[in-house]
Amino acid sequence: ENNGQDGKPIWMSYGGVVYDVTNFISNHPGGSEMILKAAGSAIEPFWHVYRQHFASDLPLRLMERMAVGQLAEDDQDVIDEQMAEREDDPFEKEPERDNDHFIIHSDTPMNAECPDNVLSSNYITPGSLFYIRHHHQVPFLSEDEMEKYELEIDLSVYGRG
């Protein structure tokens, strides 16, 4: 009901707690359009994909101030059952990586950096040791899709193209 439509506040639930996130929408690091996808519903399915929310306690600490009530226990049980029944792991096809050379901040999504001593050991950083950061899973492409893939870069904002 409280999904932001018709001037209503924007509420979401997580772990049985209901949060009024109306005043946080414009401050969401992923953009207002991302957080609004969960307006009026549970955020567990979204955090299953956007796992960076589990990288620190910051999201839950921010949400503490927005708590407005408790979700009915039966409603939370339904959400928990749906999450338990999910068999999909959006990160199951992640590429193998040589993690011995990286400082890993999170695996899913991958967020890693190359240590300074490795970067400074050579004038050119090898591609295999370049910084890795994803907000989503790496797309799985077939051989045919990879061969046909095209990237278009619009430089018109820079007066080019």
Tens digit of pLDDT for each residue in 118-128?
A: 888 888 877 77
Q: What is the CB neighbour count within 10 angstroms for residue 139?
A: 9
Angstrom CA distances, 72 to 9, 15, 24, 79, 119, stand at 19, 11, 24, 11, 53
Q: Is the pLDDT of residue 78 over 80?
A: yes
Question: Taking all residues of the chain, what is their mean pLDDT, rounded to a whole number?
Answer: 87
State residue 26's pLDDT score: 93
Backbone angles phi, psi at 10, to 5 degrees: -110, 115
**66 contacts 18 by C-beta, under 8 angstroms:** no
User: pLDDT digit string (tens) for 48-76?
Assistant: 888 888 888 999 999 999 999 999 999 99
- pTM for this predicted structure: 0.70
pLDDT cut 70: percent of the chain above it: 96
State residue 143's pLDDT score: 93
User: pLDDT digit string (tens) for 97-134?
Assistant: 777 778 888 877 888 888 888 888 888 877 777 766 66
Q: Is the pLDDT of residue 80 over 80?
A: yes
H-helix or E-strand containing 58? helix 58-64
**102 contacts 110 by C-beta, under 8 angstroms:** no
Cα(21)–Cα(65) distance, integer angstroms: 10
State residue 51's pLDDT score: 85
Two tokens, residue 27:
């401050």
State residue 14's pLDDT score: 97
State residue 131's pLDDT score: 63
Q: Is the pLDDT of residue 161 over 70?
A: no
